[in-house]
Amino acid sequence: MTFSVVIPVYNGAAFIADTVRTVLAQTCSDFELIVVNDGSRDDTMGQLAQFGDAVRVISIPNGGVSNARNVGIAASQGRLIAFLDADDLWSSDKLAVQLALLERHPEVGFLACNYTVIDHSIGGPVAHFDQFRGDPDIVFDTVMHDPLKALVKANFVGTCSNVVIRREVLARAGQFDPRYRQAEDYDLWLRCADVGAFLLQSQVLVDKTSHETNLTNNFVETLQCHERVLVALLDSPLVGKRPALAPAVRHEIVGLRYDIGHRMFNRGQSRSGFGYYWSALQAEGSVANVVSFLRHSVQKLGRLTLEALHLRTPYRG
């Protein structure tokens, strides 16, 4: 078996059939398809029944997406593991194109293709990798032999649906961590980056769906989970053996905490906002960070004071 395709699904009756069809339509037929039904309470099982033996369905009590993916990995037999979210769609040549690249680059253990996602600010699709084109540490269609430094700065991979990982890389990096409601993929990608080379593929082979039930629609929670992953990374053996990474990790934690603080203020949660500003200051004691803390705090205090005195419209950020 070349590929094991793992799809976790929870209450996905509205879209799981379309997703499965894009896998079964692959031009590369050397794969097994495992769908892990994570305690769905809708007609997910009814939708999957139409595919018969073409899909191996494993039903488990609801335990979250990380646990579901881990169950799928444990049940899989392929030498390459491909993940797909239950509401995303693959191009018909996705597996064939990625297999050819991995055969051409046996040193690559982690491959991620480009994908489109709806940008609600413009009301249309954009290619995910476009936002990273200006970063010299993030390269495309070229093997990244030490991707960890670049990945600390940003989760340029972006999703699970574009990823193929060699089984031996997963065996060394470990599984998805069920403690994370979001950013569980980022946590695993960081560990994979310590194991072997990455390759980012410019070709768009995935269409990522955006709808109201996406977990990542709650962007504050997304940032909080991202922060938790980096805090754990800072105290991990991975950074312990590469101490030069620590300043970069701290810098990203600081930026995330200020960003979360801003968004808390926009929600009217000023106490939580100041709490994140204070935690940003504690993460890095540089002069530049002290200045940032004072600037952000004084600005917000001033605006809140003016609002309290009714000298301006309610605070909007």
Could you report the per-residue pLDDT of 181-231, keeping only the tens digit for each? 899 999 999 999 999 899 999 999 999 986 444 444 478 999 999 999 999
Task: Report the pLDDT value the prediction gives residue 214, as an integer from 0 to 100.
Answer: 47
CA distance 84 to 29: 16
pTM: 0.90
Selected residue with higher pLDDT from 83 and 126: 83
Task: Report the pLDDT value the prediction gives residue 316, as an integer from 0 to 100.
Answer: 56
CA distance 57 to 53: 9
Could you report the per-residue pLDDT of 148-169, keeping only the tens digit for each? 999 999 999 999 999 999 999 9
Q: What is the mean pLDDT of the chain?
A: 92
Per-residue pLDDT at 119 exceeds 80: no
Q: How confident is the model at residue 124 (pLDDT cuts 50, 70, 90)?
A: confident
Per-residue pLDDT at 62 exceeds 80: yes
Task: Report the pLDDT value the prediction gives residue 257, as an integer from 0 to 100.
Answer: 97
Per-residue pLDDT at 138 exceeds 50: yes
Mean pLDDT check: name the lowest of 78-87, 131-140, 305-314: 305-314
Could you report the per-residue pLDDT of 267-302, keeping only the tens digit for each? 889 999 999 999 999 999 899 999 999 999 998 888
**DSSP per residue, 173-201:** H----TT-SSSHHHHHHHHHHTTSEEEEE
Could you report the per-residue pLDDT of 239-252, keeping only the tens digit for each? 999 999 999 999 99
